[in-house]
Structure 1
Amino acid sequence: MASFQKYNTKNGPMWMYKYYLPTIDPKTGKKKQSTKRGFRTKKEASLDAAKTEQEIANGTFVIEDRFMTFKQLFEQWFATISTTYKPPTKKSVMSKFNKRILPHFGHLKLKDITKSYCQDVLNAWHKEIKSVENMRMYASLIFEHAIKMEILSKNPMKDTILPKSEEDFFADDTDKRNYWEKHEIKQFLEAAENEFSLRDYVIFHTLIYTGARKGEVLALRWNDIDFKNKTMSLSKTLFQENRQSLSLTSKTADSKRVISLDDTSINWLKKLRTEASKGTVVSLDGQANSLVFARKDGEGIRLAHPNRKLQKLIEKLNLHSITVHGLRHTHASLLFEAGANIKEVQERLGHSDIKMTMNIYTHVTKAVKEKTADRFEKFMQQ
C-alpha cells in the first residue's frame, strides 16, 4: 500500500507518495522503496499511486523510463530472471555483476551509456580478466531488456570489438592438457591410498572410475548405490552457501543417469560403508539416506576440499597439474582409449550435447593418437 505525505515547496504545498518497487535489494533481501512527488492534491497522488500499484501487479511497471540507472534496471531484471535460476547459477550471475559489471555501469543512467564507453570498459576488462566475451554477454542482457521495456532503442554494447592480446595470434606450444595418462593415474592412486584417509581416497577413486562431476559425487547418498546390481544413481549435485550444504537436482535430464560400477569401486565403497558404521555389521542394500562422503557430524564435505587434497599431492609427486574436473576428462579419455564409442561416453558422463563429448575426444591421450597412426600404417601395408 502507498503512503501519502504533504510537503512544502517554493510554489506552495504539494503531495507525494511512497511505494515499494518490484525489485529486491540483493543485500537485504527486501523490496526497495521509492517516492513520486509533484502532485497538486492528494487525489492526484492517490490516482497515480493506484495506477503504479496496478502496473506492479501486472508486471508492466517501468521506473521513470530513460532516467533509470543501469543498476535499477539490473535489479528489476534480476528479480524476475533469478526465479528461473538454481542457487549456484543465481550466485554466479550476481557475483559477475557485483564484481565486474556494476562498478562500471551501475551508477550511470541508461540513456547516457554510449558505445564508446562500452568499448572503453571492454578494453579495461581485457587487462584484468580472460572472460571478456562472457562479461559483454551479461551486460548486453540488461541493454536488451531495456529495449524490450522500450527504455532504449538500441544496445550500446552491440558491435563493440573484443580486444585481443598479441599472444592470441601465435600458436601455444605449452602442454595444457587437463587429464592424466594411465601411468599417472596409477602413480596418484598408489600414493593417495597411503596419504589420504579412506574417505578421501574413495572420493578420488570414484571420480576417476566413474567420470562423475565433483558435485555429483559429494552429493551421493547410500541409497544411490546399488551394491547388488553394481550401479550408481546420479541425480543430484552438492551446492554450498553460507556454510550450508544443499542437494540440488541435476541441471538437465541427461545429467540424471544410472551408471555401472566395476568390482574395485564396489569393494572400496563397501569398505567405506563398514568404516562409517564404526565396525558394526550393517546391511549393504543401500537403504540408508545418509551422505556417502560426509564429515564426522554427517554434513557434506566442503566443495573446495578435494581441490586442496589433489593439488597438494600433485606437488608432492611432481605430477602433471590438473584440476578435479580434469579427472572427469581423464575418465573419458581412457574410455576412448579402451575402445568406447562417443555415444557411450556421452551417456556415462551425462552430457546433454554431444559436442561436449567431442571436445574431450579431440584431446584424447597420446596412446589413442598413436593407435590411430598404427591403424593407418597397417592398412597401408595390406
Structure 2
Amino acid sequence: MTKKKVSPIKAYKLKNGETRYEFPAYLGVDPLTGKQKRTMKRGFKTRKEAELALARIKLEVASGTYKQERVETYQELYDLWVVQYENTVEESTFVKTTGLFRNHILPSMGAYKIEKITIDICQKHVNEWAGKLKKFRTVKSYAAKVLDFAVKRGYLQTNPFMHVETAIKKKAIVKDDEEAENFYTKEQLIEFLSCLEKESNYKAYALFRLLAFSGMRKGEALALTWNDLNFTTNELRINKALSRGKDNQLYVKSTKTGVARTIKMDDKTMAVMKEWKKRQKQDYLVLGFNTMQPKQLVFSNEVNEYLQPTKTRKWILHVQKKYKLGTITTHGLRHTHCSLLFEAGASLKEVQDRLGHSDVQTTMNIYAHVTKKAKEEAIMKFASYLEM
C-alpha cells in the first residue's frame, strides 16, 4: 500500500479570523555558497492558489528558470534584517529584541506586503502598543528598524514610521511620590540590612550589603569571582556581568557599557565579604565543592553554578514581608546607593564613575529622585540663606 503524501501546505489564521495558506519551498543550491536555499511563501487566500504557486516554483527550480523574487512581506524582510542585527549586539540584547518581535511586532505586521505599509497602518499599531505596553516607544523603534532596512535595500522610498505620532494621550493617574520611589532612605537601608543580618541566609546578607554599598548592578555582582576582590586595598574590580542569552541560558558578558571599573569599598562591607568567603568554603565543602579555585564565583547556587537572577527577588521580598519593611526591588539598592552618595556630598562625576554610567544624563535622572531627607535639607538651606 502506497503511503499517502503529506502536503507541505498549511493553513493559518489572521488576527481578524480569516484563513490563509503557506508552504516551505526548496529553491535549489546557492552557487555562491553551495548551500541549499529555502523560503516560506504565505498569504494565499485559498489552498488551490497555494498549490499552483508551489507547483510553479517546483517546475521553475527543476528547469533552472526560477528567479528569486524580492522579499514581499514584513516577515520576509525581518528574516533578512535579523541576521544582520544579531552581529551588532550582545546575545542578551538579541534575545530581548527577538522577543519583542515575536510577541508584539510580527503578530501585528508580519503578513503585510511591504509596499502596502502606510503611515496610517503604522500609527494604528503604535496606538495599539501604547494602549497595552509601558515601553511601546521601544517596540515602535524596533519595528521601524526593519523598514529602515527596507529603505536601504530599495524596497521603500521612505520609512512611514518616521511620521508616526508617539505622544499618545494616556489616562491621568495620580500617584503618590513616595509610592513611585524605588530606593531606601539612610534609615530604611540600615533597618533593612539589620533585619537581613538576623536571618540564617548569610549569602543573601552579603549580596545585598555589597549591592547597597557598591551600587553595582545585580548582573555584575552575580558574575563576580573572588579574584575580583582585593582585601588588601579594599577594592572591587567590575569587568563582567551575568546575563540571559539564547534558550534561556545564563552566560557572562562584558559590563553594560563595555567598560571595566575598579571602585573602593568600606571596611565593614569587605569584612562581611571576607566572612562570607569563609562560610562559603565550609558550606560548599559539605556539598563536595572546593571554593578555593581562582575563578570561584562569589555568589553561586547549590551546585556551585551561576545563581538565577530571579532568586534575589524571592530573598528581598521575604525579609521585607517578614519585618514589614518598605518595598523596593533589588535594582532599587543601586538607586539607593546613588541617592545616598549625593546626600553624602559626592559630585556628579564621582557618582557617574562609581556606578559605571556611560551617559551623565542617566546619573542626573537618578539625582532627580533623591530622598525626602535631601529634599527637606534643600529647602532648609534655602530658607536659612534668605534668613526670613
Report TM bin, short chain. 0.7 to 0.9
Partner of 1:339: 345
Q: Among residues 201, 221, 231, which one is paired with 1:227 in the alignment?
A: 231
AA matched with 1:317: Y
* Alignment match, 2:329: 323
Give the alignment partner of residue 369 of structure 2, picking from 354, 363, 382: 363
Structure 1, unaligned runs of 5 or more: 1-15, 23-29, 49-62, 281-285
Q: Does 1:124 align with 2:128?
A: yes
> What's the offset of the Cα at 1:171?
6.0
Q: Is 1:308 matched with 2:314?
A: yes
Query: Secondary structure at 2:87's aligned position in 1?
Result: helix
* C-alpha distance in structure 1 between counterparts of 2:65 and 2:165, whole Å: 49
Question: Separation in 2 of the partners of 1:301 and 1:110?
Answer: 44
Q: Is 1:18 the counterpart of 2:28 in the alignment?
A: yes
Where 1:158 maps in the other structure, the secondary structure is helix
AA in 2 matched with 1:84: T
The one-letter amino acid paired with 1:18 is G
Q: Would the aligned equivalents of 2:27 and 2:37 in 1 still touch at CA under 8 Å?
A: no
Deviation at 1:33, TM superposition (A): 1.1
Which of the numbers 147, 158, 164 marks the counterpart of 2:169? 164
**Could you tell me whether the CA contact under 8 Å between 2:240 and 2:254 is conserved in 1?**
yes
Give the distance between the partners of 2:31 and 2:314, measured in 1 at CA: 44
Which of 213, 217, 221 in structure 1 is aligned with 2:217?
213
Q: Distance in 1 between matches of 2:198 and 2:30?
A: 60
Match of 2:152 among 148, 151, 175: 148
Contact 2:27–2:61, Cα closer than 8 Å, also in 1: no
Q: How far apart are 1:244 and its partner, in Å?
A: 3.8
Following superposition, the deviation at residue 41 of structure 1 comes to 8.9
SS at match of 1:166: coil
Unmatched 5+ stretches in structure 2:
1-25, 40-53, 286-291
Question: Cα gap change, 1:207/1:121 in structure 2, threshold over 3 Å: closer, same or farther?
Answer: same
Indicate the residue corresponding to 1:249 in structure 2.
254
Give the root-mean-square deviation of aligned CA atoms: 2.7
Deviations 1:51-102 (A, max 9, x none): xxxxxxxxxxxx633x521111111111011111111101110000000000
1:313, distance to aligned residue in structure 2 (A): 2.3
Shift of 1:44: 5.0
2:118 corresponds to which of 114, 119, 127: 114
Give distance in 2, aligned partners of 1:135 and 1:229: 45
CA distance in 1, matches of 2:266, 2:351: 16
Once the two structures are TM-superposed, the CA of residue 378 in structure 1 deviates from its matched residue by: 2.9
Write the deviation string for residues 115-144 of structure 1: whole angstroms up to 9, x where unpaired.
222222122222221222111111111111
Q: Distance in 2 between matches of 1:325 and 1:20?
A: 49
Following the alignment from structure 2 to structure 1, what is the Cα–Cα distance between the partners of residues 378 and 114?
Answer: 56
Using the TM superposition, give the Cα deviation of residue 174 of structure 1 relative to its aligned residue in structure 2, in angstroms.
4.2
Alignment partner, residue 276 of structure 2: 272
Q: CA deviation at 1:319?
A: 2.6
Q: Give distance in 1, aligned partners of 2:387 and 2:371.
A: 25
**Contact 1:223–1:287 (8 Å) recurs in 2:** no
Q: How far did residue 318 of structure 1 move?
A: 3.0
Question: 2:246 aligned with 1:236, yes or no?
Answer: no
Shift of 1:183: 1.2
Three-state SS of the structure 2 residue aligned to 1:75 is: helix
Distance 2:63 2:276 in 1: 72
* Counterpart in the other structure of 1:372: 378
Aligned residue among 72, 75, 79 for 1:75: 79
**Cα distance in structure 2, aligned partners of 1:85 and 1:31:** 27
Name the aligned partner's letter for residue 274 of structure 1. Answer: K
**Against the structure 1 CA distance between its residues 132 and 291, is the aligned structure 2 distance closer, same or farther, given a 3 Å change threshold?**
same
- Note the alpha carbon deviations across 1:287-328, whole angstroms, 9 max, x for none: 821100011321010011111211232233333322111110
Q: Secondary structure at the match of 2:253?
A: strand
Give the match for residue 14 of structure 2.
Answer: none
123, 135, 138: which one pairs with 2:139? 135
Could you tell me whether the CA contact under 8 Å between 1:257 and 1:350 is conserved in 2?
yes
- When the two structures are superposed, what TM-score results if normalisation uses the length of structure 2? 0.79
* Equivalent residue in structure 2 for 1:290, among 281, 296, 299: 296
2:133 & 2:251 partners in 1: Cα distance?
30
Q: For residues 155 and 82 of structure 1, what CA distance do their matches in structure 2 show?
A: 22
* Aligned residues of 2:29 and 2:36 also touching (Cα < 8 A): no
One-letter amino acid matched to 2:216: A
Three-state SS of the structure 2 residue aligned to 1:157 is helix
Paired letter, 1:114: T
Cα distance in 2 for partners of 1:345, 1:269 equals: 23
Q: Which residue of 69, 86, 91 corresponds with 2:90?
A: 86
**Aligned equivalents of 1:82, 1:251: Cα separation in 2:** 17
Q: 1:105 to 1:341 in 2, by over 3 A?
A: same
